[in-house]
Structure 1
Amino acid sequence: MASTLRPRPSELDEEAFVATYGDVYEHSPWVAREAYRQGLTPVEDDPEALAAAMAAVLREAAAEDQMAVIRAHPDLAGKAALGGTLTEDSGREQAGAGLDQCTPEELERFQALNRAYRERFGMPFVMAVKGFHRRDILTAFETRLANDADEERRTAVEQVNRIARLRLRARAG
C-alpha cells in the first residue's frame, strides 16, 4: 500500500468509523455507515480502496438517496461561500480553484449559472474543482447544462465520489 489512513478504518468500530470518515461525503454520514456495514478489511485502510468502497455505496443507492447527497453540496461561489459558512473541506477546495477571487463579472456568471442549473436539475452543480481554474469550471457548468436529468445525476454522483476520493487522499498525506 502506498499510503495508509490513520486511524485505520479496518480497526475502528462503526461509531468511530462514521465519526472519523462520515464527513467525507458532505453532510451525508450514511455513506460511511453503509460502507462500514458492508465490511472493511485492511485493504480499505488505503485511501483509494476506501474511496472505491464508499463510491460503490453511492453509485448503488436509490436515485433519491443520490440526490440527497448531491443536494447537500453548496453552490460553487454561492451564498455559503460568500457568507463564510462552507465546511472546512469545501472552503479549501473552492479557494484552491480561485473561487474566492472571482471578479464581479465572474461572480455574476456563477450566480446566473447556479440559478439556471438548479432550475433545470433541482440540485446544485457539483464538480470536484481541485486542479481546475474558475474559467474551466464555468465552461463545465455551461457544457453540463445540456445534459438530460439522468445523465447529469450520474455525472454529479461521479463528481461527488471524486471529491470524496480527493478528501481521503488528503487525509492520508
Structure 2
Amino acid sequence: MPPRPRGAREEGLGRELPSEIRELLRGHNGSGVFTLPPYYGILNTAAILSEWESRVHIYGQGEWVTYFPPYVPFASDGGGGVLYLDASDPADPRVRDHDKQGGSVSVSSHPMWQSVTSLLHHTAESLESGEPTDRYLRPTERSDFLQWRFVGEPESPKERRIGKYGVPIDE
C-alpha cells in the first residue's frame, strides 16, 4: 500500500507533525535493524499514525488518561513501548517513553532526551566516537541487530548460528 500523502497523515493526527518528526521521517522512514538507545527502532510514517491512533484510543480516555493527542510516537521497542515527542508545549518539546502498561515517563535528565534532534545527535556521536551516551554503550559490530548495552553490562558472547537439527554452523 503506498504511503498516505503528508496532509492525510497529519489529518489523521488532527495536527501538523512537529518539525523534528518530519525531519526524522525525511531521513529515516523506518529504521530496519538500526536502533536508538537502548532498543528503539524508528517507526515509519504509517506506524506512527497507527501507534498514535491506538494509544489515544486505549490510553487517552477514561478516568486515568496517560496518553494525550500532542504526544507523537516515533520509535518502538517492539514489545509495546514507544518513544514519543511530547509536543504539548511547542516551545519545549521533550522525548518521553510510554510503556506497554500505559505509563508515561521521562527517560532521564541527560541532554540527549531533550528533543528528537538531540537524541539523533548524541546517538551518532556515540556511534562515531565509541564513547557512551547517557548510560548506554555503543553496540558491538558482532551482532546483526544494533542493540545498545548499559554501562557495566557484560558483552554477550558471539551468537552461534544453528542449522538443521540444531547443529551449530561453524563460520
Question: With structure 2 as the length reference, what TM-score do the two structures score?
Answer: 0.30
Question: Which of the pair is proportionally richer in helix?
Answer: 1
The higher radius of gyration belongs to 2
Question: With structure 1 as the length reference, what TM-score do the two structures score?
Answer: 0.29
Question: Which of the pair is proportionally richer in strand?
Answer: 2
Higher relative contact order (CA 8 A, sep 6+): 1
